[in-house]
Each structure stands twice: as structure tokens, then as C-alpha cells.
Amino acid sequence: MGFGRENFFWHKLHSLTGVIPIGFYMIQHLTLNSFSLAGPSKFNGVIGFFESVPKHLLLVLEIGLLGLPILFHGIYGLFITSRADLDVAKGAYPWRESRMFWLQRWTGVGLFLLLILHVATTTVNAKINGPQVIEWQAWHDKLTSFGYVILIVYMIGIVAAAYHLCYGLWNFCIRWGITVSGHSQRAMQKFSAFAFVAVTLLGWIALFGFLKEPSTGSDDGEAVQVRRELAVPISSP
């Protein structure tokens, strides 16, 4: 089954993986990252939960449900982009759709490269050096260093990811025959624009949560209380 002869199948699979599981994971990932607003102890609690999952199970989930779909979506996306004739797209679609066509492909290329760097410095780094490299304080130090350059890069990356996902939803609904009429497609386009703003704000809120100076007193007090509660059954006869 070659890519050239079966591009209808591969295009539909590419579209599907962009929504499930990648799109779903992205929303879940940004939502959990927004725990940064609640302070170090709450965010680190999220990290601790995933650390409590059996290593072999977590590895299977990371590779099977995320790694392979992301690799397929990214590599086949590069293949689609290399074959796309943007000049033809300009003539075939209205200006708005032509611009969306162009932005979808170039945000995909940029995101694939940024995602490789992100995974290397977070997931892979944590497996080598321990979870402390992705805890709240590590993110605070990273995002506030180098004159906030890394923060700006992540903010731009979130905008690109939100656009790529939300425009992808519009394209997904057309490709899978969910929106057939012009009216339904225009309605979905409006929903995608709203979703783009919402997802961008969710991601930015998560980033800004790491910029606050931690209120160490309350967090330390909470941590002491947790340790006391855990110690009670241990010391009981």
C-alpha cells in the first residue's frame, strides 16, 4: 500500500490522529499544566501522580498512544507539505481558505521541530535525571531565564499549536463528511476560531502560572500537614 496510490486513506488517518489522540492529549496536557496557578505543591502533585503509574505501563502509553501517532502525524504532515503547491492553493480557494491552508502547513512544520525539542528537554530529560527537572521550580527557572526568551518561544508555540489543532478540526469535519453543506462548514469555521482563542488562553494561563513567585510558607505548611497525615497510620499500633 503506497503513499501515492492510497493518499485518501493516509490523509484520513493523518486527520484522525491529529484529533484523536493528539488533539485530546494536547487539551488534557494544557489543562493539567494550568495547575501551575495553584502553586508548586499542586503542580508537583500532578507530576507525582504520573510518577506513581507503573513504569512499564506509562512507557506503553507514551509510545503506543502518543509517540507513534505523533511520529506518523508529523512525518506524513511533512510529506503532505512537501507535495503541496501553495500557488495552486491560492488560485483554488478564496483568500481566507488559502491563508488557512498555508498557515496549517507551516505551523505543522514548526510544531514538529519544537515538539522534538520539548520532548527531549522534558520527558526524556526526566527519565534520565529524575522528575525534579519538570517540577514547578524547574519551569519557573526556565521560563524566567535568558530575558524571558524561552517564555516567548513557548507562547508562540502555543499559538501555533492552538491554530494547527483548531483549523485541523474544521478540516477533519470536512474530510470525514461531518460538515457537508456550506452552512455547516462556515459554522464549524466560527467554532474553530473560538476554540483557537480558548486553547491559546488556556496554554498561556498555564505558562503564566510558573511566573509567580512561590508562596513557600503556605506550600511548606501544606506539605508538612500532608506528611503528618501520612505518618499517622504508620505510627499507630
Please report the pLDDT score of residue 110 as a whole number: 95
Per DSSP, 124 falls in state I
φ, ψ for residue 122 (rounded to 5)? -120, -80
Alpha carbon 82 to its chain centroid, in Å, reads 24
Q: Is 105 helix (H, G, I), strand (E, B) or coil?
A: helix
Nearest C-alpha neighbor of 37 from the set 215, 217, 227, 159: 215
CB 70 within 8 A of CB 130: no
- What mean pLDDT do residues 24-53 have? 96
How far is residue 100's CA from residue 166's CA, in Å, rounded to a whole number? 11
Please report the pLDDT score of residue 93 as a whole number: 54
Domain boundaries, given as residue ranges, for the chain:
8-213
Sign of the alpha-carbon dihedral angle for 204, 207, 212, 217: positive
Q: Is 214 helix (H, G, I), strand (E, B) or coil?
A: coil
pLDDT tens digits along 102-145: 889 899 999 999 999 999 999 999 999 999 999 999 999 999 99
Cis bond before residue 69 (omega within 30° of 0): no
φ, ψ for residue 211 (rounded to 5)? -85, -20
φ, ψ for residue 84 (rounded to 5)? -75, 135
CATH annotation of 8-213: 1.20.1300.10
Please report the pLDDT score of residue 32 as a whole number: 97
Residue 165 Cα distances to 36, 38, 65, 216, angstroms:
23, 27, 18, 37
By percentage, how much of the chain surpasses pLDDT 70? 81
Nearest C-alpha neighbor of 70 from the set 116, 128, 104, 29: 116
pLDDT tens digits along 196-215: 999 999 999 999 999 988 76
